[in-house]
Structure 1
Amino acid sequence: MAERPTIGIVADVVLQRHRLQEATGKFGLDVLFSGDPERLIGYPAFPEVALWLVTLKDEADHPALFDYLLEHTDAPVLFGVDPAPAAGTIDCFRWERRLLNKLEQQLGRIEQLDTANDMEDLARAASDTRNAPALSNWITPADTDTPAREIWVLGASLGGPAAVKTFLDHLPPGLPVGFVYAQHIDNNFTNVLTRILGRHAHYQLKPAAEGMRICHGDVVLMPVEQEWTFTSNGTLTCTGKPWPGPYGPSIDQALLNVAEHFSKRCHAIIFSGMGNDGAIAAPRLHENGSRIWVQNSASCGNSSMPDSVLATGCTGFSGTPAQLAAELVRTIENQCLLKNRHQRDSA
């Protein structure tokens, strides 16, 4: 994996320094210095960083800082970052996105995708030929040619492919659901992802196609380059526009697009990944009755993305990929039991 850029943070408000460290950590940046102007000027060895982030309550209070920076560094200096809103709020996640855009204007693309290592991890996961669990007697096997009424969006980035593979391998065949898979990935690796993820699994990856209906058991991969949504009759269609935001597919936008058609029958599981993609849309879906689950930190290759969604307070379950699969089966089983009970009571 490519070496991450290093930055220095100078802020005279402790909370702002803390929020900047948290946000830049989500993006995978190494913070070599964080302190107020006086600490930097008195620092024994000037830190060599790729960029300085400077945010001051009143620049007039620190007249010596700017001359000091000009004398000691040729690295770009980014001034005037807005104060961070309260943590875990939609405003805070939008603030993080704006910060990321400003950083990338200076440093280039930051959220490098470790696709080669992801594919190696996925290949190792695919070599596990465990048998999938049997379908519960309470669940009637779903017809694979029937359009799915419930869709689960699987959102992932760094470390996600192997986690999603493990999740799918722990599902029994015949569940009455379909999946949309939004994975930050280098577009050159999508064919490899499609091929490997289908091994030894009842749930095989399919690339999105114009006019496709998502049927029971389908796992439809959202393309990287252009945004896809649904027509009024439930078929997939390409908008012809790039996904909004810095990375494709946008997990936030994929969630919103699926929910626009499927409403509260759209649910989400956010797996391993860097950044906070998904944290803006997930609470909106939760308000409409959707289930929002996340992979737990300990089992993630990078937990920034699921941790961001967890911080919103909208999640109903957190676990390993295998535990997430078991919880999905239990949820569907309970739905079937309730449906059967209602049918008996109405007879």
Structure 2
Amino acid sequence: MRVGIVSTNEVQKALITELLGPLVGPLKEYDLTTIRNGTLHSTDAHILIIDMSDPAIVDCADVMDMMGRDEPICLMHEKDLFAMSQADRISWRNRTVEEIRKSLPDLTSELDSKRDEADNKHVPDAWIIGSSAGGPQALREFFGALPPLPITIFVAQHISENAFGQMLARLADNAKEWDVQTAADGAKVRPNTVFLVPRDKTVDIRGGIIELKPHVTPELSFNPSIDAVIRSIFACHPGKIGVIIFSGMGFDGSAGIRAVKGRAKMIMAQDQESCGAKGMPDSARLTGAVQISAEPAALAAELKNLYPQ
């Protein structure tokens, strides 16, 4: 597949190449010089992406003439990619790929395969930590013993809405060598990052970017739902996932780990002796999916051993 970019904006061309290059191969670039010397008119490109955000291109009669021809197929691009978030750039890429697929249907399977490969490349494993009563103490001990690792951790801690900010601050204080954030739309899944999941939400990951989805639990249920977070991330994350169930009452997390049993990288739970509330870890163990039980600091050591540096 041969794709070209028509623009005088070097930043725009670099971003389009970065987004589309892994899918379509090297892109040919056309600026005013190549337009005026006739190189554009003799192009062998199948697809030309015309940068309509570039006034110099819009005012060029030769480019407008190209757009009136049957070949190559011209796709008009009107957005300034530099001003977009990474999530919006990925959305633009996906829309452009769909246009290319419609124009060149014989290459659909090749494009899909390369897009999956590009999205999955260098995606870190995702670990979900579920905790409730006694969880803050377990998290403090766990992160106090956990060095930086090439993984992303999602913490689903049952918590009231008013206490969320305090919990985030406490988590950041405990995990000093990690980048601690609230899980939010558009956040990029990166190694050595911890995301605290908000109430009434679960997490999708598309192209390495977080998309929060509403998940309202029954009024008396624990929130956020650990089961929902495990299932959601497992369904959409291209990398491996792992689960750790810390102290808590009830059985949230058990259905989620049962769903990923045999397909997760590892499933661990806090041991009875160190738990403030044994319900959740004990319920997790009853599924038969838990592979390691230990105190939080020992679980941190087990996780470290899975990712030797």
Task: Report the TM-score, using the length of structure 2 for normalisation.
Answer: 0.57
- The answer (yes or no) to whether the contact 2:227–2:256 under 8 Å persists in 1 is yes
The alignment partner of 1:297 has SS state of coil
Q: CA deviation at 1:239?
A: 2.2
Give the direction of change, closer, same or farther, for the CA distance of 1:147–1:214 in structure 2 (3 Å limit).
Answer: farther
Give the structure 1 partner of residue 209 of structure 2. Answer: 235
Q: What is the aligned counterpart of 1:196 among 157, 162, 170?
A: 170
Cα RMSD, aligned residues only? 2.0
Unaligned runs of 5+ in 2: 1-120
- The answer (yes or no) to whether the contact 2:124–2:239 under 8 Å persists in 1 is no
Give the structure 2 partner of residue 152 of structure 1. Answer: 127
Q: CA deviation at 1:212?
A: 0.9
Q: CA deviation at 1:289?
A: 3.7
- The answer (yes or no) to whether the contact 1:204–1:219 under 8 Å persists in 2 is yes
Q: CA deviation at 1:253?
A: 0.5
Percent identity, aligned pairs only, is: 32
The alignment partner of 2:150 has SS state of coil
Could you tell me how far apart the structure 2 residues matched to 1:163 and 1:208 are?
20
Give the structure 2 partner of residue 320 of structure 1. Answer: 295
Give the structure 1 partner of residue 279 of structure 2. Answer: 304
Q: CA deviation at 1:213?
A: 1.6
- Which consecutive aligned stretches of 4+ in structure 1 deviate over 4 angstroms post-superposition? none
The alignment partner of 1:305 has SS state of helix
Q: CA deviation at 1:204?
A: 4.5
Could you tell me how far apart the structure 1 residues matched to 2:188 and 2:217 are?
21
Q: What is the aligned counterpart of 1:294 among 269, 275, 294?
A: 269
Q: What is the aligned counterpart of 1:250 among 194, 214, 225?
A: 225
Aligned runs of 1:1-347 on 2, under 5 Å? 148-173=123-148, 175-199=149-173, 201-224=176-199, 226-243=200-217, 246-262=221-237, 265-333=240-308
Could you tell me how far apart the structure 1 residues matched to 2:124 and 2:137 are?
27
Unaligned runs of 5+ in 1: 1-145, 337-347
- Which AA in structure 1 matches 2:297? A
Q: CA deviation at 1:230?
A: 1.5
Give the direction of change, closer, same or farther, for the CA distance of 1:168–1:257 in structure 2 (3 Å limit).
Answer: same
Could you tell me how far apart the structure 2 residues matched to 1:331 and 1:165 are?
21
- The answer (yes or no) to whether the contact 2:202–2:224 under 8 Å persists in 1 is no
Pairs aligned (count):
187
Could you tell me how far apart the structure 1 residues matched to 2:237 and 2:210 are?
12
The alignment partner of 2:173 has SS state of coil
